[in-house]
């Protein structure tokens, strides 16, 4: 009799943020196609977000076949997710080709006004259950909105100004259950506005005080 030695089983790893986000995408497609009820959707989202191992995550998706991404196979930014909390990205940050945020009982907010971007097109994906998705772009940046809401509103509101050259096209894809999706444009922050106003008046933007006086030509009354 030949006895084969059995190798010890390896412990299952915890799912990555990217795999959790992909799992929620699978559930979103299923509820949108009528394969899941809203109650089933919310129950399975809880399982995906709370899964301690990839095996537990696959249990919630077993009857909804779709391949999950392999760890390290994507060049996009890692997905951020939160339970009973908000995701807020603002200030000086690098805008990647694909940016994602997902919350349960919380909001997702991306503020692009001070972001750094080298891409021609970027995608922002927001998923919330009992929360809002808000994306703020600078005035003059073109944006598109896709996705859907259940018991919520979807709104794209951009300033009526020409598109600035060399700015990226921002594609926003959102999904909310009991929440809104809003994409709005806003003027630059006060510091940038002051610099632009100073340059338009012909003075050093770093100097302080009032601009130099302008005198009328000789022989002309002031």
The pLDDT of residue 198: 37
Contact 184, 159 (CB under 8 A): no
Whether the full predicted model's pTM is greater than 0.75, yes or no, is no
Is the pLDDT confidence value at 44 over 70?
A: yes
Domain boundary assignment for the chain? 11-72, 75-189
Who contacts 197 (Cβ-Cβ below 8 Å, separation ≥6)?
Answer: none
Q: Give 15 or 208, the one with higher predicted confidence.
A: 15
The pLDDT of residue 123: 95
Residue pLDDT, tens place only, 85-113: 999 999 888 888 999 999 999 999 999 98
Spatial distance between the Cα atoms of 87 and 133, rounded to a whole number of angstroms = 10
Average pLDDT, the chain: 77
The Cα-based distances of 35 to 40, 63, 89, 173 in angstroms read 10, 10, 33, 21
């Amino acid at each position: 009799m030949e006895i084969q030695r059995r190798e010890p089983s390896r412990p299952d790893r915890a799912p990555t943020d990217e795999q959790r986000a992909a799992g929620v995408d699978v559930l979103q497609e299923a509820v949108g196609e009528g394969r899941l009820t809203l109650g089933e959707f919310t129950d399975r989202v809880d399982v995906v977000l709370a899964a301690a191992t990839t095996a537990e995550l696959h249990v919630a998706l077993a009857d909804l076949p779709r391949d999950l991404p392999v760890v390290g196979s994507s060049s996009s930014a890692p997905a951020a997710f939160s339970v009973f909390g908000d995701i807020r990205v603002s200030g000086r940050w690098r805008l990647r080709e694909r940016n994602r945020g997902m919350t349960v009982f919380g909001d997702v907010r991306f503020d692009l006004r001070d972001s750094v971007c080298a891409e021609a097109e970027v995608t922002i994906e927001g998923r919330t259950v009992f929360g809002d998705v808000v994306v703020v772009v600078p005035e003059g940046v073109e944006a598109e909105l896709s996705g859907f809401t259940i018991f919520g509103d979807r709104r794209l509101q951009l300033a009526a100004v020409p598109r600035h050259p060399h700015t990226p096209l921002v594609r926003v894809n959102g999904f909310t259950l009991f929440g809104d999706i809003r994409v709005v444009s806003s003027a630059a922050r006060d510091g940038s506005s002051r610099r632009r106003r100073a340059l338009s008046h012909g003075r050093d933007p770093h100097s302080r005080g009032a601009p130099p006086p302008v005198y009328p030509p000789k022989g002309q009354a002031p």
